Structure 1
Amino acid sequence: MDPCEVVVAVDLGGTRMKCGLVAADGAVLHRETRPTPRADARDGGRAVLDALLETVVELGQKATAEGHRVRAVGVVVPGVIDAEHGTVGAENLEWVGTPVLAELQAAVRAAHGDHVPIVLAHDVRAGGYAEFRQGALAGTTNSMFLPLGTGIAAAMIVDGSLVSGDGYAGELGHSKFIHGDAAELCACGQWGCLETVASAAAMARRYTARTGRTVDGAREVMQLLAAGDPDAAQVWHDALAALVDALVLYTTLVAPTRIAIGGGLVGAGETLLQPLREGVHARLTFQREPEIVAAVLGEEAGMLGAAQMAWDRAGADEEEQR
């Protein structure tokens, strides 16, 4: 492999980190996954942060050993990112105001010096950016990426730009769509959030609560649905109803022309997408109706978005120096 300039890209979302060395033309010269350590409140999620730092440094060392020049580092994480201070709050990682950017800067500086810029961004926004630049949202100026996985968050493209909101935007999963006695307590502290009904984790949990039978995630619920299980059908119906409400609200407020659904649940294909299309169509009156499609970049979307953001930063820094 000929030496070239690369960025180090790491997506910390999920149970495994998705990592890559990515060239300026988008070619992934090296890809790997690594386990994300189980977060522990007793150490404030330190083991997770240490694993992330080690991964970034080792990927940079690999690039250097192969003769490549590391131009930038892109890291994307779940949770809420304070863009001004570079801190992250992520309940599933046991991070509370954790200075992730400062830790990354220190580790990268020790390995490569002061010349390598670092981008820290949200994993879902990065996935949406990748879909916007090279995936299912390419060619749009107003669109949304909505992955349905362990949790639910949205990446919003508005007037051709990715909306960050200083790191806080896009938490559609923590909007209230379930009311009354049906509302459940969300991990965020609110009752009735979309995520409590329509995430993959919620579907498995709600099926178990209805039946007393433990299932192996949303995939097994979908298998039971296909086999005609009435409890799986009710869990699925509740999830679809809440998702239609969320998509109608988003469409009314932001008017996307296309919505790309990603995450584990999109594996259901048209079993998911067609009812969403029909439900949204039936509810809209004056609003512009969006296309509802499957995202195309899969589990690599976040890593590819991290790489694209890192290359954008490298290019912007180069322009400033001219």
Structure 2
Amino acid sequence: MVDRGRLFHVKHVIALDVGGTGMKAALVGADTTLLHEARRPTERERGPEAVVAAILDFAAELREIGERRFGGPPLAAGVGVPGVLDEDRGVAVFAANLGWSDVPLRALLTERLGGIPVALGHDVRMGGLAEGRIGAGEGARRFLFVSVGTGIAGAIGIDGRIDPGAHGSSGEIGHIVVRPGGTACGCGQSGCLETLASAAAVGRAWADASGDPAADAADCAKAVRSGDPRASAVWGEMVGALADGLVTGLTLLDPGVLIVGGGLAEAGETLFAPLRTAVEERLTFQQLPRIVPAALGDTAGCLGAGLLAWDRLSTEVTA
């Protein structure tokens, strides 16, 4: 991060990565350098109006920092948010964990930030954009990014860009049904990948198996490494379900690289070694892609939002 003293005439954009409980933000240079980083709570406990106000206030604060430290206002802004989006209209259609619906977020930010171009994108797709363009998938023409955390979601990358889908909801691999008739999912289906292979699902299963209600997925991974057969059984169920879901994605999309991120990926080869084997065992005519961990950590969302802002700016210039 570059944030030393007072710098002048540094072109930059605002990048905001809005999560369920917190926001990460950055001022991003044209070479993707993080010139300044900050974090704030979303204040979702105060309701959706407070969340929107917190986003607008944070963005305005970042604009002021950019003007003061880098010699001028940001050229554009990119914002990644969870839930269902209408990217063409710049509307956050719905997000259960933030409690909002039909928020014209791009228009609100454009007004608050003095009319600069603003791009709105899905938070996981923003992480995928960064990983695919400058992270673990750099140079790949086609990639699939899958974030395995509290939930499971993905991003489909083609030629350095993310495909949002016709209705703004592409990449929802967590809601592929891998165990028909299985555990009920919040989406209304049963047996979704997310109910079996997310970090939250592994944590619940290990808490039950171990008898420790406070146990989580990281504890399960640690127990796997120590040779605990109960943990190995839980982990094996997760790996099998995840491989089934990923093979569906690979069959449909034929990516050259499969990038796995999110909290569960922090288990390293405890996850990746059996996962690569399980995926390969399930393939028939499909080509096995490289299966790699995400490389950018929790900066991926901000970097992706920054890339989206620079992309939006270049589109405005050439339009």
| TM-score between both structures, scaled by the size of structure 2 | 0.91
Matched, 1:87 2:92: yes
Map 1:142-153; keep pairs closer than 5 Å.
Answer: 142-153=142-153
Corresponding residue number in structure 1 for 2:73 = 69
The answer to whether the 8 Å contact 1:186/1:196 transfers is yes
Q: Is the 8 A contact 2:143 2:256 kept in 1?
A: yes
Paired position in structure 1 for 2:31: 25
What residue is the counterpart of 2:4 in the other structure?
none
- Identity fraction in percent: 44
Following the alignment from structure 1 to structure 2, what is the Cα–Cα distance between the partners of residues 241 and 136? 24
Distance 2:161 2:16 in 1: 22
Residue type of the alignment partner of 2:168: G
Q: How do 1:155-174 and structure 2 match up within 5 A?
A: 155-158=155-158, 161-165=161-165, 166-174=167-175
Q: Which aligned pairs between 1:99-248 and structure 2 lie closer than 5 A? A: 99-108=104-113, 112=114, 114=115, 116-158=116-158, 161-165=161-165, 166-180=167-181, 183-248=182-247
Q: Which amino acid aligns with 2:92?
A: T
1:227: Cα distance to partner? Answer: 3.0
Is this contact kept in 1: 2:147–2:262, CA < 8 A?
A: yes
RMSD (CA atoms):
1.8
Q: 1:14-67: CA deviations, max 9, x gaps? A: 533111001111111101222232446xx3x22222211111111111111222
What corresponds to 1:305 in structure 2?
304
Distance 2:164 2:142 in 1: 14
Structure 1 counterpart of 2:308, one-letter code: M
State the AA in 1 paired with 2:162: L
User: SS in structure 1 opposite 2:157?
Assistant: strand
Kindly tell me: are residues 14 and 296 of structure 1, through their superposed partners in 2, closer, same or farther at Cα, counting changes over 3 Å?
farther
Counterpart pick for 2:54 among 51, 63, 70: 51
State the SS of the aligned residue for 1:197.
Answer: helix
1:229 CA displacement: 3.3
| Structure-1 residue corresponding to 2:262 | 263
Q: Given the superposition, is the C-alpha separation of residues 3 and 216 from structure 1 closer, same or farther in structure 2, using an over 3 Å criterion?
A: farther
1:76–1:120: 8 Å Cα contact kept in structure 2? yes
For these two proteins, the number of residue pairs brought into alignment is 310
Paired amino acid for 2:176: S
TM-score (norm 1): 0.91
Q: Distance in 1 between matches of 2:232 and 2:201?
A: 14
Q: Deviations over 1:85-139 (max 9, x none)?
A: 313311111123333223323322xxx2x2x000110011111111121111111
Q: CA deviation at 1:314?
A: 0.8
Which residues of structure 1 form unaligned runs of 5+?
none
Aligned AA (1:57): A
